[in-house]
Amino acid sequence: MSDFLDKVPELKNDFIERLKKAKTPEELQSIRVGFLGKKGKVTQLLKSIGGLPETMRPEAGQRLNVLRREMEALLEERKISLEAETFLKKERQEKIDVTLPSRGRPWGGCHPVEQVTHEAVEIFASLGFTVAFGPEMENDYYNFEALNIPPHHPARDMQDTFYVENGLLLRTHTSPVEVRALRRWGAPIRIIVPGKVYRRDNDPTHSPMFHQLEGLLVDENVSVAELKGCLEAFVGRIFGRTLDVRYRASYFPFTEPSLEMDVECVACGGKNQDCRICKGTGWLEIAGSGMSHPNVLVAGGVDPSKYNGFAWGMGLDRIAMLKYGLDDLRIFFEGDLPFLTGGGQSLR
């Protein structure tokens, strides 16, 4: 019996010495298994109690159970201590010196189309125009009928327009705001309408979503000459120099007469037959315009016998393409950071 009981303090001392040396959770687990596991030293000693005289077994079992509980308590205590040490070590390694200057982030940039939009608004504001806005989700009346577009007109084709539920659609142009503005403020009026529009189209020069700038001026005795004056003043300022322009007869349901405006190629000035911008024509289409159709004025609650006016629509994305010498519209929507921030060459 004395030999058996002598093993208890020996086991405890051995356990404590090994516990002191443990530095990781893995080492703790190894100690637990070595002493308290199925084949551990304490477990083996418990199994040997059966070889003792019957009168000695209760005391031996009690001593070993006390030892087992002490070991489990010491293991848990050391586990908590190790976790705290590990946390402090990690905290020291990963500590942040709040007195250091921040690394910061690279400055972002205003999107090229947004830059052109701001410039265009400033130019027309200096000519006396006020900015107006309207919903991007429109109904059929404002997007088509009020603009003198009858039900059979090709612009209503499902290939051009994104229709949604309850007779609504994504506006195909900013022109619906003309009628909304006339109904709200009446005439005389002088507004520009920058905004997003949507059409079923996608190629290097077209996007399903793009940006337009609508213009509308309604007053007494308005002439085509005033329309041309506004557009040519805009072109000279947005491109930073005077450009030759020309007008071609066209057709838009909401204007009569209708004109398309071309400007000389901003890249080659019409002198390079291999120009990738104008394809050798020397001209670039920039806007559709014309005198407001009387039916549109009537839809806006304005008397066409007293007032007349003009309107235009231009693609801001296209103007940005020309201004920055691009031949693919899609780069504006692809997150090309070197180009968009102006910090480097385009990834294209």
pLDDT at 108: 67
| Res 202: pLDDT | 66
Q: Could you give the CA distance from residue 96 to residue 237 in angstroms, rounded to a whole number?
A: 51
How confident is the prediction for the chain on average, in pLDDT? 86
- Select 112-340's CATH number: 3.40.1670.10, 3.30.930.10, 3.30.565.10, 2.60.40.1180: 3.30.930.10
Task: State the average pLDDT over residues 144-161.
Answer: 82
Which of 339, 297, 330, 291 has its CA nearest to residue 311? 291
CA distance 9 to 150: 103
Tell me if 321 sits within 8 A of 238, measured CB to CB. no
% of the chain beyond a pLDDT of 90? 41
Q: Of 94-98, 184-188, 218-222, which range is least confident? A: 94-98
Q: What pLDDT is recorded for position 158?
A: 57
